[in-house]
Amino acid sequence: MSEQTSQQAAQPLDGQTGRPMVQMRDIVKKFGTTTVLDGIDLDVHEGEVVTLIGPSGAGKSTLLRCVNGLERISGGTIEVDGEQLSYTEKGLNRLRARIGMVFQSFNLFPHMTVMDNVTVAQREVLGRSSAEARERGLELLARVGLDHKADAYPGNLSGGQQQRVAIARALAMDPAVMLFDEPTSALDPELVGEVLEVMRVLADEGMTMMVVTHEMRFARKAADRVVLLADGGIAEEGPPAQVLDEPTSERGQAFLQQLN
């Protein structure tokens, strides 16, 4: 009886109900003769937040980059929202229109205002009118608390503000999935919280998210599932408390121990 209960509690809450938005089967990624990802099976369900943790060089960034087609997989299959990833120009454009990505370095266009940063792709990729793009842009800037900075240039914003603009810019494409690659690693410590808070609200609102992070508090609070990558494979996977507090693999234990 109690065993039954604890098994049920161990299931990711959202992950079991939503349909798979990202489905990875036996993903292999090689750079030359080096195998960086060695047979990854991972599903991310609609509305699920999966955080990827693990040592430097484990392949976390590479995995995210494979999901949005920035890197081409050497083997296996990836489906996004039921559609198999195709590396034709058309296929990649379709894919990237449905996946938002936020990087460690904010990558805003420095010569454009904040508003232009969040509207340019809406106009050029989605074909929205200027008025439409602007309205959506303002709405998203308000969501990240920066509507008052619409006319500012990125260089005049703090790192935390720039990263929040980068999140708004990605959201402007109405993505089905958001990928975050260490979004707070380049920030001064006092600016980390405001970015994590925006991400936490996004997660609460039901966005499907894959988040590479070293912020274990975020993983614990916002993630439905934590995946620990090591040596190109999944060493641990499960609800945050299970992975972070009771790792069973040697690699998982070693990684988590050095965090404390």
Tokens of 252: 């998982």
Which residue is nearest to Mg ion, using beta carbons?
61
The residue (of 57 and 206) whose beta carbon lies closer to ligand ADP is: 57
Q: Of these partners, Mg ion, ligand ADP, none, which one is at the site of residue 51 (CB under 5 to 8 Å by kind)?
A: none
Nearest CA to 35 out of 58, 65, 67 is that of 58
Instruction: Name the amino acid, one letter, at 28.
Output: V
8 Å CB contact between 30 and 189: no
CB of 194 to Mg ion, least distance (A): 22
Q: Can residue 61 be called a binding residue for ligand ADP (CB under 6 A)? A: yes
33 binding ligand ADP? (CB under 6 A): no
CB 172 within 8 A of CB 140: yes
Only segment of 57-65, 141-149, 160-168, 193-201 that touches ligand ADP (CB under 6 A): 57-65
- Report CA dihedral (133, 136, 139, 140) to the nearest 10 degrees: -90
Separation CA 39–CA 94 (nearest Å): 25
Measured CA to CA, the distance from residue 42 to residue 116 in angstroms comes to: 36
Q: How far is the CB of 57 from ligand ADP (least distance, A)?
A: 4
Pick the binder of ligand ADP from 31, 158, 221, 248 (CB under 6 A).
Answer: 31
- Residue 47 interacts with ligand ADP (CB under 6 A)? no
Residue 61 is a binding residue for Mg ion (CB under 5 A): yes
Q: Is residue 57 involved in binding ligand ADP (CB under 6 A)?
A: yes
Q: Does residue 62 interact with Mg ion by CB under 5 A? A: no
Please work out the total of residues on this chain that contact ligand ADP, with binding judged by CB under 6 A.
Answer: 10
Cα 111 to Cα 84, 104, 115, 155, 165: the distances in Å are 36, 20, 12, 9, 14
Residue 165 beta carbon to ligand ADP: minimum distance, rounded to whole angstroms: 23
**In the complex, which residues of this chain contact ligand ADP (CB under 6 A)?**
31, 36, 54, 56-62
